[in-house]
Amino acid sequence: MKTYEKSDAARIMAAIGSSGHYDGILAPYDITVSRAHVAMLLDQGVVPPDAAARVLRELDDLERRLLAGDEPLDPEAEDVHTAIEQYLETRIGVDAGWLGTARARNDLAVTALRLWIRDQVIALRSRILALTKAMLTQAERHAATVMPGFSHLQVAQPMTFGHVCLAYAEAFLRDAERISFVLALQDECPMGSAALAGTGFPVDRSAVARNLGFRQPTANSLESVGDRAFALDFLSAGASVALNLSRFGAEIVFWSSQPVGLITLPDELVSASSAMPHKRNPDAAELIRGKTGRVLGNLHALQTVVKGLPLSYFRDLQEDKEPLFDTARTLELSLDAAVMIATLMEPNPDAMRRAADIAFVTSGDLADWLTRERGIPFREAHHLVTALVRLSQEQNCSLGALPLEARRGVDERLAFEEWPDITVETSVESRASQGGTAPRRVLESAARLRSRLVEF
Ligand code: ARG
């Protein structure tokens, strides 16, 4: 059994309590908030001008050092906010102490985190838009490339590759919109809430909010310090992004498998098997799908942290950081990989055409035709075509090649001269309802999507 001494307690407390070794990511955001806070305190006459000037100068200097790749902050400090205050103290002594006036780590940490989320949303959104654009470009290029449309992974109806690419582009563009909502909802500044009840100093919360680019200050100090709904919104929008990426990854794995062979992935995005030299494993797509587990888990993790907490700050909330950092980093990587796949995948039109043209794939089209051109109610037309399919199988011919007399044998109403021969191409062209797979509709939808992309 491992043995413990009382003297171990402080070390263990530091180990469980410290986030300084990983929350340094927030240092630039702490500096931005601190600068706005001190500038406001100076304007309000709370901090003497010379002390404020020294603090501001050191904050600027620290920012420069961090940008230059220096690591002047103590990773063993309890957190990055403490590390920054300690750093300032080593530089300017007691004047550093003015920085802590009229604020607490509670409002500081949560404000810095909102600023960090803002940057992540902007960075992720631009990648999501790049992915949307890559799929849109494929769609425009392949508006008329026929492929099988699958349902239940069974070949269902002929479709165009452009239509399928647009389906993903639509979903991705909606993800870009969804992640933008996160910004709209978190657009209020918690600074001035202090520890939980506000502050007795004459702060100008609106000035700080404005300075940091928020629409207004938050309304309630108590709610502000314990609220992590904005972080959950980010994780939740991120989970939606991950889910769509995962489905895309799964599709790519399927399309690129050898017996399917609808697309070819470039060498850079596949790996060789260590045992079977002929294989081209779609690792990037599989990992996009696999990493979704962490992103969904991160949402669940923070939901669980927040779930039992009454109002105000609890130390539990420090556990918000790692899920957030991990989701942002994972999505960034996955989106980069997805953009490369979407851009570099090469559809194989011949294989697509062949796979679409399985026996009787246009039987549904024939039923539609009988209803449209011959006035036979659809349900009945469907029964008649089922009988015709059986007959074609017996006679080993296509539906279009069934002789008139044979058709008469099934039903008197099928005995006419101008019997259609529906190909996968005519099938695809006939599905011209708005949002349908007909090439002209695909081009029209693509143009609409392109104009929406410009709005971002
Ligand atoms: N680092 C902490 C967090 O991120 C903030 C510290 C507030 N600590 C406190 N004891 N009130 O949640």
Q: Which CATH number is 128's domain given?
A: 1.20.200.10
Closest-CA residue, ligand 1 atom 10, reads 315
Is 107 part of any domain? no
% of residues, the chain, pLDDT over 90? 96
Q: Which atom of ligand 1 is nearest to the CA of 315?
A: 12
Compute the distance from residue 9 Cα to the ligand 1 centre, in Å: 20
Compute the distance from residue 276 Cα to the ligand 1 centre, in Å: 53
Instruction: Tell me the average pLDDT across 379-395.
Output: 95
Element (H, E) at 63: helix 49-67
Task: Count other C-beta atoms under 10 Å from residue 123's C-beta.
Answer: 14
Please indicate, yes or no, whether residues 405 and 257 belong to a single structural domain of this protein: no
Reported residue count of the chain is 456
Closest-CA residue, ligand 1 atom 6, reads 105
Q: Range with the lowest mean pLDDT among 202-216, 242-256, 357-371?
A: 357-371
Return d(Cα 390, Cα 181) in angstroms, integer.
54
Compute the distance from residue 338 Cα to the ligand 1 centre, in Å: 36
% of residues, the chain, pLDDT over 70? 100
Question: Tell me, what's the pLDDT at 355?
Answer: 95
Which CATH number covers residue 442?
1.10.40.30
Return d(Cα 219, Cα 187) in angstroms, integer.
12
Is 85 part of any domain? yes
381: Cα separation from own chain's centroid: 44
Q: Which atom of ligand 1 is nearest to the CA of 79?
A: 1
Pairing type for strands 154-160 and 146-151 reads antiparallel
Please indicate, yes or no, whether residues 336 and 418 belong to a single structural domain of this protein: no
Crossing angle, helix 439-454 and helix 105-141, to 10 degrees?
150
Please indicate, yes or no, whether residues 76 and 62 belong to a single structural domain of this protein: yes
pLDDT bin (cut points 50, 70, 90) of residue 5 is very high
Element (H, E) at 454: helix 439-454
Please indicate, yes or no, whether residues 392 and 273 belong to a single structural domain of this protein: no
**Residue 456 predicted with pLDDT over 90:** no
133, two tokens: 């654009």
Question: Tell me, what's the pLDDT at 455?
Answer: 85
pLDDT bin (cut points 50, 70, 90) of residue 275 is confident
Question: Tell me, what's the pLDDT at 318?
Answer: 98
Question: Tell me, what's the pLDDT at 277?
Answer: 79
Q: Which atom of ligand 1 is nearest to the CA of 317?
A: 12
Its pTM stands at 0.95
Question: Tell me, what's the pLDDT at 45?
Answer: 98
3-class state of residue 307 by DSSP: helix
Nearest Cα to Cα of residue 262 among 162, 165, 348, 159: 348
Amino acid type, 374: R
Amino acid type, 219: A
248, two tokens: 């895309």
Domain end point (choices 320, 337, 355): 355
Instruction: Tell me the average pLDDT across 119-130.
Output: 98
Task: Check if the beta carbon of residue 423 is closer than 8 Å to that of residue 363.
Answer: no
Question: Tell me, what's the pLDDT at 279?
Answer: 85
Instruction: Tell me the average pLDDT across 329-348.
Output: 98
Please indicate, yes or no, whether residues 48 and 163 belong to a single structural domain of this protein: no
Element (H, E) at 74: none
Q: Which atom of ligand 1 is nearest to the CA of 80?
A: 1
Question: Tell me, what's the pLDDT at 276?
Answer: 84
Is 106 part of any domain? no
Closest-CA residue, ligand 1 atom 11, reads 106
Looking at the structure of the chain, the number of domains it has is: 3
Nearest Cα to Cα of residue 196 among 319, 268, 135, 110: 110
Pairing type for strands 188-189 and 216-217 reads parallel
pLDDT bin (cut points 50, 70, 90) of residue 273 is confident
Compute the distance from residue 134 Cα to the ligand 1 centre, in Å: 42
Compute the distance from residue 196 Cα to the ligand 1 centre, in Å: 12
pLDDT bin (cut points 50, 70, 90) of residue 90 is very high
Which residue range forms the structural domain that includes residue 303?
Answer: 118-355
pLDDT bin (cut points 50, 70, 90) of residue 86 is very high
Is 108 part of any domain? no
Mutate to test the pocket of ligand 1, among 79, 86, 196, 305 (most ligand atoms within 8 A of CB): 79
**Residue 278 predicted with pLDDT over 90:** no
Please indicate, yes or no, whether residues 369 and 397 belong to a single structural domain of this protein: yes
Question: Tell me, what's the pLDDT at 52?
Answer: 98
Task: Check if the beta carbon of residue 166 is closer than 8 Å to that of residue 135.
Answer: yes
Is 109 part of any domain? no
Closest-CA residue, ligand 1 atom 3, reads 318
Is 371 part of any domain? yes
Pairing type for strands 216-217 and 146-151 reads unpaired
Domain end point (choices 302, 320, 355): 355
Return d(Cα 41, Cα 28) in angstroms, integer.
20
Is 419 part of any domain? yes
Compute the distance from residue 105 Cα to the ligand 1 centre, in Å: 6
Task: Count other C-beta atoms under 10 Å from residue 293's C-beta.
Answer: 12
**Residue 274 predicted with pLDDT over 90:** no
ipTM of the complex: 0.97
Please indicate, yes or no, whether residues 269 and 375 belong to a single structural domain of this protein: no
Question: Tell me, what's the pLDDT at 40?
Answer: 98
Tens of pLDDT, residues 94-112? 999 999 999 999 999 999 9
Instruction: Tell me the average pLDDT across 300-307.
Output: 98
Measured CA distances, 455 to 125, 148, 174, 210, 451 (Å): 13, 33, 13, 25, 7
Please indicate, yes or no, whether residues 387 and 445 belong to a single structural domain of this protein: yes
**Residue 177 predicted with pLDDT over 90:** yes
Please indicate, yes or no, whether residues 262 and 146 belong to a single structural domain of this protein: yes
Instruction: Tell me the average pLDDT across 117-129.
Output: 98
With 0-12 / 13-18 / 19 or more C-beta atoms within 10 angstroms meaning exposed / middle / buried, residue 446 is buried
Residues annotated as part of the active site: 152, 273
Please indicate, yes or no, whether residues 218 and 248 belong to a single structural domain of this protein: yes
Q: How far apart are the first and last CA of the chain?
A: 60
With 0-12 / 13-18 / 19 or more C-beta atoms within 10 angstroms meaning exposed / middle / buried, residue 246 is buried
What Rg, from alpha-carbon coordinates, does the chain have? 31
**329 against 357, higher pLDDT:** 329
Question: Tell me, what's the pLDDT at 59?
Answer: 98
| Angle at CA of residue 206, ends 203 and 212, nearest 5° | 105
Please indicate, yes or no, whether residues 68 and 128 belong to a single structural domain of this protein: no
Mutate to test the pocket of ligand 1, among 318, 319, 322 (most ligand atoms within 8 A of CB): 318
**Residue 41 predicted with pLDDT over 90:** yes
Which CATH number covers residue 33?
1.10.275.10
Mutate to test the pocket of ligand 1, among 76, 78, 106, 312 (most ligand atoms within 8 A of CB): 106
Which residue ranges have their beta carbon within 6 Å of ligand 1?
A: 19, 79, 105-106, 109, 313, 315, 317-318
Compute the distance from residue 291 Cα to the ligand 1 centre, in Å: 29
**Average confidence score pLDDT of the chain:** 96
Please indicate, yes or no, whether residues 87 and 155 belong to a single structural domain of this protein: no
Compute the distance from residue 77 Cα to the ligand 1 centre, in Å: 12
Closest-CA residue, ligand 1 atom 2, reads 318
Is 112 part of any domain? no
